[in-house]
Amino acid sequence: MKYGTLYVVPTPIGNLKDITLRALEALEAADLVAAEDTRQSLKLLNHFSIKKPLVSYHKFNEQNKSGSIIELLKEGKNIALVSDAGTPGISDPGSIIIKKCIEEGVEFVVLPGATAVTTALVYSGLDTERFAFLGFFPRETKDRKKLIKEIEGRSDTLIMYEAPHRLLETLGYLREALGNRDMAVCRELTKLHEEIFRGTFQEAADHFGSKQIKGEIVLVIRGKSEAEMLQEKKAEWESMSVEEHIISYMNRGCSKKESIKLVAADRNIPKSEVYKHSTEIG
């Protein structure tokens, strides 16, 4: 018997008009729908007059449920996988069943569609050439510290989700950890009360501090600028003599010749000038 196909179907993140024609076709063609919240998905299906059996597939039963869904796919059933909003597998259940499909040789099709990540990124006005999605900002202090250590030196734009009741605390924490960077708070994307606030961490905290904050939130944060990185690098050597600067590079494993070149670049002076300070270095 030919295996069925798992369709990974993005659903609107707010405005129901953002459903795609392919998504509707996949839902119509499916024998059943695996949903993060069957009540939420039933509303979506009813809105588009689609009647399909629903099975629950969420983060708490994902491991166990994946096996039974694989069996149904092997029996020839076509299954549509949906989350409450957006693309399954992006901070939502989906990645485990996809891995199992790959392991078991079961075909799956990922449909393009709505996601808050790229919508917020473009709204932010920040650099879109290189960006990193970090999921939900951690709740535990040790996890936060670990994440900050990983991202504080990155130059790419950073994107993360946050709950409304933690927004002000998170803005304060990020300001202390990363400096008062430019950023955007994107709230209730595509919905009636959509709000995009652009400013610094402090300006965002001032703006939302006097409000009752509701809705799903995406934070988009400017990466470390080239000027900031150059300033930090300069701080490492500006108290050194030229000779000490050369030796510091040699201690990192650079040859004397390479070290002279690097010091000249750091200090924006001719290599011949640096060389004069290297004659006594072995």
pLDDT tens-digit profile of 163-175? 999 999 999 999 9
pLDDT at 141: 92
Q: Which CATH architecture best describes the domain 116-224?
A: 2-Layer Sandwich (3.30)
Residues of the chain with pLDDT under 70: 232-238, 263, 275-276, 280, 282
Q: Does residue 268 sit in helix, strand or coil?
A: coil
For residue 196, the model assigns a pLDDT of 98
Under 8 Å between Cβ of 118 and 111: no
Kindly report the number of other CB atoms within 10 A of residue 92's CB atom: 17
CATH homologous superfamily of 6-110: Tetrapyrrole methylase, N-terminal domain (3.40.1010.10)
Q: By the 8 A CB rule, do 73 and 101 touch?
A: yes
User: 166: which 2 tokens?
Assistant: 């933690």
- CATH 3.40.1010.10 domain residues, the chain: 6-110
- The SS3 assignment for 53 reads coil
Q: How many CB atoms lie within 10 A of CB 167?
A: 21
Strands 182-187 and 157-162: unpaired
Pairwise CA distance, residues 160 & 248, whole Å: 37
Paired with 56 in beta bridges are 35
According to the model, what pLDDT value does residue 276 have?
64
Q: Where in the chain is the domain with CATH 3.30.950.10?
A: 116-224
Which residue from 33, 9, 7, 29 is spatially nearest to 19, judged by alpha carbons?
Answer: 9
Contact between 158 and 181 under an 8 Å Cβ cutoff? The reply is no
Confidence (pLDDT) at 252: 79
| HSE-CB for 11 with a 13 A CA cutoff | 24
